[in-house]
Amino acid sequence: MDLIAIVTIFVLAVFVGFEVVSKVSSTLHTPLMSGANAIHGVILVGAIIVADHSETNLELGLSVAAIVLATINMVGGFVVTDRMLEMFKGKSGGRANQNSGDKK
């Protein structure tokens, strides 16, 4: 892919990333960090690609290690985030009502 297309994607993604989390209550900082953490586990895709290309045992060994680590990051990350958010179950409605009540 040519460089300018990549730079375009990069810059736009930076702005989207800034924009989506700019207003978040401190209650959600930990789950949000954990969720974002799980998303970068998508490096798993990259690890699979290099494992596919591996020709020597060294390359394969390193790629397999990368796949294991990336899987732990991705799967573990989403599971642990879900466990955190499970705790908010049933209380989210109350929170929303309370907040809107405070403003009015």
Partner 1 sequence: MNRTIYDLIGLSAGVMFILALKGLSHPRTARRGNILGAIGATVATVAVFFYASEGNELPLNNLGWILGAIAFGVLVGVPAARRVQMTAMPQLVALFNGVGGGAAALVAIVEYLKLGDSASTGVVIATVFTVLVGCVSFSGSIITFLKLQELMTTRPVVFPGGRFIIAATLLGTVASAVWVVLELGTTPLLILAALSLLFGVLFVLPVGGADVPIVISLLNAFTGLTVAAGGYVLDATLLIIAGTLVGASGTILTRLMAEAMGRSLFGTLFGAFTAKPQEAGAASETRPVKSGTPDDVAILLNYARRVVIVPGFGLAVAQAQHTVRELADLLTAKGVDVAYGIHPVAGRMPGHMNVLLAEANVPYEQLSEMDEVNPTFPQTDVALIIGANDVVNPAAKTTPGCPIYGMPILDVAQAGNVIFLKRSMRPGFAGIENELLFDPKTTLLFGDAKASLSKVVGALKAL
Residues 17-36 that bind partner 1 (CB under 8 A): 17-18, 20-36
Least separation in angstroms between residue 6's CB and partner 1 is 6
Residue 7 CA, chain-centre distance (Å), reads: 21
The reply on whether position 101 binds partner 1 by CB under 8 A is no
The reply on whether position 46 binds partner 1 by CB under 8 A is yes
Least separation in angstroms between residue 7's CB and partner 1 is 10
Size of the site for partner 1 (CB under 8 A): 86
The reply on whether position 100 binds partner 1 by CB under 8 A is no
CB-side neighbour CA atoms (13 Å) of 83? 7
Least separation in angstroms between residue 89's CB and partner 1 is 7
Contact indicator for 67, 44 with CB cutoff of 8 Å = yes
Q: What gap in Å lies between CA 72 and CA 97, rounded to an integer?
A: 37
- Which helix (H) or strand (E) element contains residue 2? none
The reply on whether position 52 binds partner 1 by CB under 8 A is yes
- Cβ closer to partner 1: 69 or 103? 69
The burial class, CB within 10 Å (0-12 / 13-18 / 19+), for 81 is buried
